C-alpha cells in the first residue's frame, strides 16, 4: 500500500494490487456477514471492525494477509490456527493460499459474543 492517509476501507482496498484486493474483498465480506452490525473503519492504517469494542483488524503485506482478532481470538482457535504463523493477537495467512473463510467467520462470531458478554 502506497498511501498512508487511507480514510476508509474502500480506499484501502483500491490501493492494493488486484490479486490482493480480491482476497481482501472476500475477507471483508466474511467479516461483515459474521458481524453485520459492526462499525467498519480504518484504525492503525488498516481496516478494523468494532462492535461493543474492537472485533478484528486485517492488513495486506507482501507475502501474507495479517488478521488480528485480539489475543483471545487467537487463544480460542489455537488448534485450528496451528498451521499458520501466529502471534499473541495475530495470524498470518499466506497470500498464495485460500483464506480459511469458515474459520475466520467463526472467529469473528466468537469475538462478537465475547464483546457482548463482557458488556453484561
In a domain, 52, yes or no: yes
In a domain, 2, yes or no: no
Q: Which domain CATH number covers 111?
A: 3.90.1150.200
**Structural domains in the chain (count):** 1
CA–CA separation, 92 and 75 (whole Å): 15
In a domain, 4, yes or no: no
Residue 24 CB neighbours (<10 A): 20
Q: What is the pLDDT of residues 91-118, one digit of tens each?
A: 999 999 999 999 999 999 999 999 999 8
CA neighbours closer than 13 Å in the CB half-sphere of residue 7: 0
Domain range for 15 is 9-119
Q: Rounded to an integer, what is the distance from CA 33 to the centroid of its chain? A: 13
In a domain, 65, yes or no: yes
Q: Rounded to an integer, what is the distance from CA 61 to the centroid of its chain? A: 13
pTM of the model: 0.93
In a domain, 16, yes or no: yes
In a domain, 38, yes or no: yes
In a domain, 31, yes or no: yes
In a domain, 3, yes or no: no
Q: What is the pLDDT of residues 2-61, one digit of tens each?
A: 445 789 999 999 999 999 999 999 999 999 999 999 999 999 999 999 999 999 999 999
CA–CA separation, 88 and 91 (whole Å): 9
Amino acid at each position: 500500500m502506497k498511501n498512508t492517509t487511507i480514510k476508509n476501507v474502500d480506499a484501502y482496498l483500491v490501493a492494493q494490487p488486484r490479486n490482493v484486493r480480491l482476497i481482501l474483498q472476500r475477507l471483508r465480506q466474511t467479516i461483515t456477514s459474521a458481524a453485520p452490525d459492526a462499525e467498519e473503519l480504518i484504525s492503525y492504517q488498516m481496516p478494523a471492525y468494532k462492535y461493543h469494542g474492537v472485533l478484528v483488524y486485517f492488513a495486506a503485506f507482501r507475502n501474507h494477509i495479517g488478521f488480528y482478532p485480539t489475543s483471545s481470538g487467537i487463544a480460542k482457535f489455537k488448534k485450528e490456527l496451528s498451521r499458520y504463523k501466529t502471534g499473541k493477537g495475530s495470524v498470518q495467512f499466506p497470500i498464495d493460499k485460500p483464506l480459511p473463510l469458515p474459520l475466520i467467520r467463526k472467529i469473528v462470531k466468537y469475538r462478537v459474543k465475547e464483546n457482548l458478554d463482557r458488556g453484561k
